[in-house]
Amino acid sequence: MKKFITLFTVGMLIAFTSVHVLAQPITTPRTPSPAASVKQTIGISTVSVTYSRPKVNARKVWGELVPYGWNVQAFGTGNSAPWRAGANENTVIQLSHPAKIEGQLVPAGSYGLFFVINQDNSGEVILSKDYRSWGSFFYDEKQDQLRAKIQLREIPHTESLTYDFIGLTKNGGELVLNWEKKQFPVKIEFAVDELVMANAEAELKGPTGFAAQGFVSAANYALQNNINLDKGLVWIDQAIALNRNFPALNIKSGLLKKAGKTAEGDKLLAEAIAGATEVELNNYGYQLLGQNQHDKAIEILALNTQRNPKSANAWDSLGEAYALKGDKDNAIKNFKKCISLNPPANVRANSEKYLKQLGAL
C-alpha cells in the first residue's frame, strides 16, 4: 500500500508538471516599445546599451510623456526619480573596462542609465549600480555611481528613441540618445594605451608568449604610440631571442632611435636590411611610403630590384614609389619593366592602371 501511494504521488507530480509546462505562453513580439541594443568598440574596450524604443507617435514628449526634472513615482518606493532613458525595464549600459564618463572615473560593469531633462535643455546623466530594477519605480539615489551635468542639443525629428555613438576618436566618443527633437550627449573615454599595454602584459604570460609574434606586436604598439618604450625594448628583445628577423630588428631599431640611441638604431637597421627577404623589403618600402618618406622608400625598393631583378612585383612597387613622389619618367620606366617580366594578373593590373594615369598606355 505504501508503495502504491508513493507511485501515485509521483504520478500526480508528473501530471501537474506536465500541465504547468503546457501552460507556458509562447514568445510574442514586444509592442509598442521593442527591445534594442547598440555596442561600440573603443580601443580594445566595449560600451553597450540595452534599452527599449518607444515612438513619439504624435505625442508631446518633453514635459508631458517625459516630465521635466525629478518626479515622484506613483508606484514602487515612491521616491523622486529621474527618467529611465527609454521604456520598460531599466536602460542598461555596460563597460568592459574602467572609463571616464563626463570626466568621472567609472569602474567596469553594468549600470542603470537615467537622464534628467529641464526646460532650458540642461540635464543630468545618472548611472545606478542597481541596474536590474524595472524603470524608475525603485530608483534609489544611494545606488548612484555617477551624476554629471549635460547640455541637450536640438536635432531633426527622430520618431523611435535611438542610442548611437558619434564623434569617435582613438580614446573615446559620445554616446547619444536621440528622440523627438532632442539629443542627450554623454562623453565616454578610455585610457586606451594603458589598457592595451596592461592587456599585452597579461596575454604574453599565456599562449601568446610562446611565439615571437606576440612580443613583436606588443613592442610595435609601444613604438607606434610612443608609450612605455623601455617595456617595448624588453618585449622586442624577447622576440629577437625567439626569431631574429627583419620585422623584429626594424622595430628594435625604431625603439632605440626614440630612446635617443640613434647610432645603435641605425646599425641594427642596416643589419636588418642586409638580411631582409624580398617581401620584407617590399613591405618596409611601403611602410616608408606611408610615412611620406619617398626618397628613403625609393632607396629600399630600388635595392629590392637589384637583389631580385626578375621579380615583376619589385619593379611595380618601385614604379609606384616614383609615381607617388611625382617622378613621372622613372615611374613609367619601372612600370614598363614590370610588364616586360610577364607579371601575375594583379601586379600587371596595377602597373597598367598607373601607366594609363601617367598617359603612357
Complete DSSP assignment for 218-251 = HHHHHHHHT--HHHHHHHHHHHHHH---HHHHHH
- Report which of 225, 222, 281, 277 is spatially closest to residue 252, judged by C-alpha positions: 222
Which cell is 178 given?
536621440
pLDDT of residue 347 exceeding 50, the answer is: yes
Helix, strand or coil, per DSSP, at residue 281: helix
Q: What is the pTM of this model?
A: 0.83
**pLDDT 10s digits, 80-105:** 999 999 998 899 999 999 999 999 99
Percent of the chain with pLDDT over 70: 94
pLDDT of residue 18 exceeding 60, the answer is: no
CA 197-202-203 angle, 5° bins: 95
Average pLDDT over the chain reads 92
The answer to whether 171 and 42 are in contact (CB under 8 A) is yes
Ordered by where they begin, the domains of the chain are 35-190 (no CATH), 193-357 (1.25.40.10)
Please give the C-alpha separations between residue 351 and each of 26, 272, 360, in angstroms, as whole numbers. Answer: 62, 29, 11
pLDDT of residue 275 exceeding 90, the answer is: yes
- Average pLDDT, stretch 110-119? 97
pLDDT at 16: 44
pLDDT at 1: 45
The residue that leads in pLDDT, 176 or 3, is 176
pLDDT of residue 198 exceeding 80, the answer is: yes
Q: How many CB atoms lie within 10 A of CB 37?
A: 11
- Average pLDDT, stretch 174-184? 98
What confidence tier does 8 reach under pLDDT thresholds 50, 70, 90? Answer: very low
- Average pLDDT, stretch 21-41? 83
pLDDT at 77: 81
Least confident range from 30-44, 182-196, 268-282: namely 30-44
